Structure 1
Amino acid sequence: MRTMRDWFGETTGGLPRTFWYLWAGSLINRLGSFVLVFLAIYLTQERDFSATQAGLVLGLWGVGGAVGTTAGGTLTDRWGRRPTLLTAHLGAAAMMLALGFARPLWAVAVGAFLLGTFAEAARPAFGAMMVDVVPEKDRLRAFSLNYWAINLGFACAAILAGLAAEVDYLLLFVVDASTTLVTALVIFFKVGETRRATAPGARKGGTAPAGALRTILADRVFLGFVVLNLFSALVFLQHISMLPIAMGDSGLSPATFGSVIALNGVLIVFGQLFVPRLIRGRSRSHVLALSSIVMGVGFGLTAFAGTAWFYGLTVLIWTIGEMLNSPSNATLIAELSPAELRGRYQGTFSLSWQVAGATAPVLGGLVREQSGNTALWLGCAVIGAGLAVAHLVSGPARERRATELRTPAVPVVTLDPPVPEVAESAATAPAEPLPAKTP
């Protein structure tokens, strides 16, 4: 009993209060995340759209997400984390309802685009705020705890959404909008701005320097990691677009899909909190390579699935890969992001997910229609193997860059009279966030 209590204290103790409000917001939001999980089924079974049309709508969701993460990253650095989060959540709640009432294909497509824009604009702000408030030594377990909350909500949402879909698909959109609104209220009342105050004399509008885009584009180590995440996301997001269609072709109901995909969240809920101790001290490149192999195997086996239990087995396998990938990914991005460009770096990384969100359903649908179901899933396995090799090759350069950014600059000693600095560099300034304030 004492061992379990010590483990629980080590896993959850000592984290800032603001983190726990953000954690609660993630849990509430994901408890109602009904729409994206069942959108492909809704479009093909309820609205009688073709698989290609459904892929187009999901692709536009991803395009909107790309726009949202780009804008959200810039606003996070210039406008602030808190106002960006509030605006994104309120806009997403409104567009969720609009999408639920949309009927023509063009209206559904526009609604999906705008919903993706608002929903994903929150991602860079949330990521930057997490890095702001959690000390570096605690980030692995903090990101693992947040991921655990996301998947606890997802597991419950997948089952509830499957039951709600049997009653009325509109209920999916109403509940999703409601939980998004509640999350916005938690942020409004409990979460203060965490961005550092602009230093005296610094450029008005934020702490990020001019030429931020050029800095990111010149960062080959970071962009290489973004590209690898893009290919990983192309595989992973097939569980939202092509997996429900494949299970439908096997004669399985939406409720069965909900139960099968809920296994993903259930396994993470029961296992994710043990992952930080399992991978602590191990090479992140090796962990990421192993996760790519496991995810590839899981999705590859889907080619041979035809029953609910077999689909469930494949979900459990690729979920293990996901559990290994997530905390290593999150901590590595945090360490590769210069403090003064944290929002933009988070936005650029999130952009890889949105590009994948736009292209994964389209590419998956095309491969499935042109080459068949087997080619689609075995292709995922091949991509997973290639990603494993790429992580092993590029890993040392990433760790060197992370070490460089952690190491403070050595001050230069000069005999000349000191000249007052206009502003302290955000890269070497103390990393303490502003205290959380309640409006």
Structure 2
Amino acid sequence: MTAIVENEKTTPVKEPDAGVFVTLREAPVAVRALLLGGFISRLAAFIQIYLVLFLTDRGFSATQAGLALGVYGGGAVAGSLVGGSLSDRLGARTVTLVSMAGSAALIVSILYAPTYALLLAAVFAVSAVGQFYRPAAQTMITELTPKHRLVMITAMYRLGLNLGMTAAPLIGAALLTVSYNALFWGEAFAALAFGAIAMFALPRGGVRARKEAAAAAGPEPRGRSGYLAVLADWRYSVYLLAMLLTSAVYCQYTATLPLDIAAAGISLWWYGAAVSLNGFIVITCELAMTKVVQKWPIRLTALLGLGLVSVGYAIYAISPLPIWFMIGTLVWTLSEIIGGPTVFAYPAMAGPERLRGRYIGAMQSVFGLGTAIGPVIGTLVWFQVGRSVWLWAALVSAVATVAGLIGMHTPDRAEESRHAAAPAAGTEE
């Protein structure tokens, strides 16, 4: 099936269907390189998984290990913000090289930090610098991808991240049979591999081309700049609120759900089954679902993508029986495969090109913040109100859905025309 668009002379033109294989085949080399690099970065993301075990093995207390993990999360939030700003200033290629080379060196430094304070500093720096590349990668993907392909490419990018995250614990466990040194050096070499891909496959000239395009379009509006300009966009600020609330609720399956299942006297096998169900459906079905969903209006996708999280967690509240845990998980997993690619691709379409990296960085940092504070808040609420926590989660998610509907809008035709010309901005001059 094909989509019908109109050109400037109102002559109907058939636009090729943005299917999985067609999209991947027609994607520029740089985009495919970023898809591969994202997969590699997650495939070797060992530190966050094994940091607590590493520190306790080195003689630190469980409290010190937990604090270090929290510092790692804080570094990820800060890194997204800095990465977004650097992407607008330096370009995606330069930022990716800095991110991968810097994180490779910093990863190894954790092994040799002489004091706990320096170790915490190294952990924060590793997380922050390693996060720089994510806004930069999404910015370049947006610049090089036609608008009607962007949601599908984002789904492919997410698939690579999910596949890498699924395999990383197993690869890390294998390296641990050798030593913790092998684990850390393995992640460092993976970062260098991504850096090498960026050096040879990503184009130069993107920043200069964007500046020339902006100069041709006229002077920039006076007033706020940087992240203040992002926050001045009231619609986007509402969208950011939606992302914060959604991520804080969504991550309850990693914190509150196992507590609730154990308290109900149900085998934790059911928890493992629920998490596995989520991973299996996302990995096997998201691309196929995206082929259909990418043609929907943005607000419809947001309604289902955000609203089904509320419905899924409300189902948990019905009864502490395995059947309801599985059905609830299935429902909020549908929200992920329906809305995930569109919701995560949206920041690149929401703002002006000169702030694209910051728009992306703001979303990624807010989402990371929600993921960091969500488990803490969720478990505290569960200890206070018990199973009613799921009703509170559903309510918060419903508020997030309304915020998403208000904050997300379809870009106007002028913006789409500018985006359609964007691939030229990423080419080497």
SS of residue in 1 equivalent to 2:422: coil
Residues 74-96 of structure 1: per-residue CA shift (max 9 Å, x gap): 21111221111111122223333
CA contact (8 A) 1:232 1:387 kept: yes
Structure 2 counterpart of 1:389: 402
Question: Shift in Å at residue 39 of structure 1?
Answer: 4.7
SS of residue in 2 equivalent to 1:193: coil
Structure 2 counterpart of 1:292: 306
CA contact (8 A) 1:73 1:124 kept: yes
Residues 68-113 of structure 1: per-residue CA shift (max 9 Å, x gap): 2222122111122111111112222333334456697645543332
- When residues 407 and 174 of structure 1 are mapped into structure 2, their CA distance, relative to the original with a 3 A threshold, is closer
Structure 2 counterpart of 1:112: 123
How many Å separate the matches in 2 of 1:266 and 1:62?
A: 26
Question: Shift in Å at residue 134 of structure 1?
Answer: 0.7
Structure 2 counterpart of 1:223: 237
Match status 1:432 vs 2:423: yes
Structure 2 counterpart of 1:399: 409
SS of residue in 2 equivalent to 1:432: helix
Question: Shift in Å at residue 141 of structure 1?
Answer: 1.3
- When residues 280 and 129 of structure 1 are mapped into structure 2, their CA distance, relative to the original with a 3 A threshold, is closer
CA contact (8 A) 1:55 1:241 kept: no
Of 23, 40, 52, the residue aligned with 2:35 is 23
- When residues 336 and 200 of structure 1 are mapped into structure 2, their CA distance, relative to the original with a 3 A threshold, is closer
Q: Give the CA RMSD over aligned residues.
A: 4.3
Structure 2 counterpart of 1:33: 45
CA contact (8 A) 2:83 2:135 kept: yes
Question: Shift in Å at residue 163 of structure 1?
Answer: 5.9
Question: Shift in Å at residue 173 of structure 1?
Answer: 3.6
Question: Shift in Å at residue 133 of structure 1?
Answer: 0.9
Question: Shift in Å at residue 220 of structure 1?
Answer: 0.3
Match status 1:152 vs 2:163: yes
In the superposition, the TM-score normalised over structure 1's length comes to: 0.75
Moved more, 106-115 or 64-73: 106-115
How many Å separate the matches in 2 of 1:79 and 1:230?
A: 28
Pairs within 5 Å for 1:231-242: 231-238=245-252
Structure 2 counterpart of 1:345: 359
Residues 210-247 of structure 1: per-residue CA shift (max 9 Å, x gap): 74234323210111111111111112344566668888
Q: Partner amino acid for 1:321?
A: S
| Uncovered stretches (5+) of structure 1, i.e. residues with no partner | 1-5, 409-426
CA contact (8 A) 1:26 1:146 kept: yes
In the superposition, the TM-score normalised over structure 2's length comes to: 0.77
Match status 1:334 vs 2:348: yes
Question: Shift in Å at residue 387 of structure 1?
Answer: 2.1
CA contact (8 A) 2:248 2:373 kept: yes
CA contact (8 A) 1:158 1:262 kept: no
Question: Shift in Å at residue 55 of structure 1?
Answer: 5.5
Question: Shift in Å at residue 274 of structure 1?
Answer: 0.5
Structure 2 counterpart of 1:325: 339
SS of residue in 2 equivalent to 1:147: helix
Question: Shift in Å at residue 171 of structure 1?
Answer: 5.0
Structure 2 counterpart of 1:181: 192
SS of residue in 1 equivalent to 2:403: helix
Structure 2 counterpart of 1:421: none
Match status 1:268 vs 2:286: no
SS of residue in 1 equivalent to 2:26: coil
How many Å separate the matches in 1 of 2:311 and 2:212?
A: 54
Residues 254-301 of structure 1: per-residue CA shift (max 9 Å, x gap): x99999756544322211111222213323223222222333455566
Question: Shift in Å at residue 201 of structure 1?
Answer: 12
Moved more, 168-177 or 181-190: 168-177
Of 51, 65, 73, the residue aligned with 2:76 is 65
Q: Partner amino acid for 1:180?
A: A
Residues 12-64 of structure 1: per-residue CA shift (max 9 Å, x gap): 332112111111111212222233345567678997855x7666444322322
Pairs within 5 Å for 1:48-59: 49-50=61-62, 56-59=67-70
CA contact (8 A) 1:26 1:149 kept: yes
Pairs within 5 Å for 1:51-200: 56-99=67-110, 106-107=117-118, 109-161=120-172, 172-193=183-204, 195-197=206-208
